[in-house]
Structure 1
Amino acid sequence: MDSKRTLSRVMEAPMAMEGEGVPIRRAFPSHEFSQLDPFLLFDHFGGVVLKPGEAKGFPDHPHRGFETVTYMLSGEFEHRDSFGHHGVLTGGDVQWMTAGSGLVHSETPARSMVENGGRLEGFQIWVNLPARDKMKAPRYQELSGAHIPTARSADGLVEVKVIAGSALGVKGGVETHIPIEYLHIRLQAGATFTQALPATLNAMAYVFEGAVSVEARKVPQFHVGEIATNGDSVTFTASEPAELLLLAAQPIKEPVARYGPFVMNTAAELQQAFDDYRQGKMGTISFAH
């Protein structure tokens, strides 16, 4: 018998600054909400129109032991890393980076963005890796916005971009180490959308336009709703146009040793990550073309 999942809590994502001065709303980690296994961090960055010269980014920094997932709504971000990978993410694009054994990378506004300004907005989440995958070689999966599978409801009131997982019979294009759902859901006024979501998956919804309700409990704009594990589906309703991200995944249920840009299982592994970085074992970024 189908049973609906409810919300266990609703919290605002407070404003903060990251990198060289990029405005963000951080849903977690926070004092109230440390993580949602396997999700370690959720940032909604930008959401602002920048004047020429105002665009800022995230200079060279290392990662090991997890994945970073960047989803651009608007603007252009340039990416470089210590393995020689270089690319530009534009509105609608997704980069799913498995840091694995470690790398150094930078995320900075593209030159056109710095020179001309414009709207910058997107999301970055961190996804933990199981112990067995933490030291795998780094890997990228990059999807252009035009190639992200999109599903639509029969009544035309719901559109879902399926980054990972599946919705309305459409499958996402990203391979994941554990079962993950990453959906960008657009609801028109009066829309209702139900997503199958087994109780074994941890899940959350972040609303960035309008507001939605889950079993009569409202999630306003810029709020995150943690979805209780008390059913096997979740239903969103909207009385106004709304957009949200739905994240769900199988929890890893392993110890987390975390500090700064490294996420391992033990303090010793964490120390080793810092030692390897200081000794240059994660490489450096070359800006030669």
Structure 2
Amino acid sequence: MTTSPHDNIERQVRIRLAGFTGDVPLCHEGAYSYVARLPTELAASVEAPSFQDQRIRVFRSRISQEATDDILRTLVAQYRANPVAYHHPNITLSVPGPLHEGISGPMRPTTALLSPWFTSEDILAYVQNGSVYSKIKLAVQLAKAVEHLHNHNVVHGNIYPGNVFVTDQGKATLADACIFTLARLLYPDLTGSLVESSMYQAPEFLWPGTDAFVPPTTAMDVYALASTIFAILTESPPFQNVPSIRTVEQAVAKIYKVGHLCLPRPASGFCDELWACLQSCWSKIPGDRPSIGEIVTALEYIELYC
């Protein structure tokens, strides 16, 4: 199953940011990443001093500039209303920043989402051929990031490996909290299609029983966290090795019908305690899923004794 959003490079976009002007690859979703430096004044304006004098990753979606600006303005307001929620050793803050871009013709001013740059593309790229212990350690760090958000009344809303990176110090970091949720809330018509992260989500997230927007819950985060941990341990997305499932659409249909409980237990890497933890997180009944605090406790035990 091919799922990477960085496959199928089609064209380039020309950008100017922080003194750089040049061409960068544009992927099939109409987004791109580029390593640059965040202007000091921008870092200061959003209380993100960790960005200063560091390389950054630029993400620009294909939705309209008006929609992008609305989403990013709302995001910044949310950061400022509850700043402590987003400050944690295992959470990466993404901020909006100005740049100029153009696929053809003159470059025009626009806004992009900026975050610190990490060597590995995402956590799945990082863990390839890694030890079980190193993966469990990263899972514990990821769970603690989610716990911090939940303790401050923030639901991430789109946990999956594409939003989890590993720093140059080898620590897991969770990115893009609330961004997908805001996009769905403000512009549901632009975010209604299935995306790579869909195969990690709870059944009620994929279809809540109504066309109206239903905010994600902590129980949905717990479910997606378990799916992400499963992917970290197996080094591949859920359903990757299920012969009857070859597309995201087929995976989502399976999740909606039976959830991730249908996934077979891998032959190695999953002790009884870890498998039981993931199974409880995948309960079809949201209220039966453990709290994030219970998950952290279970994973810390597994890290020490399994």
TM-score, structure 2 normalization: 0.26
Q: Give the number of the structure whose residues are more often helix, by fraction.
A: 2
Greater fraction of residues in strand: 1
TM-score (norm 1): 0.27
Which structure carries more relative contact order (alpha carbon 8 Å, separation 6+)?
1
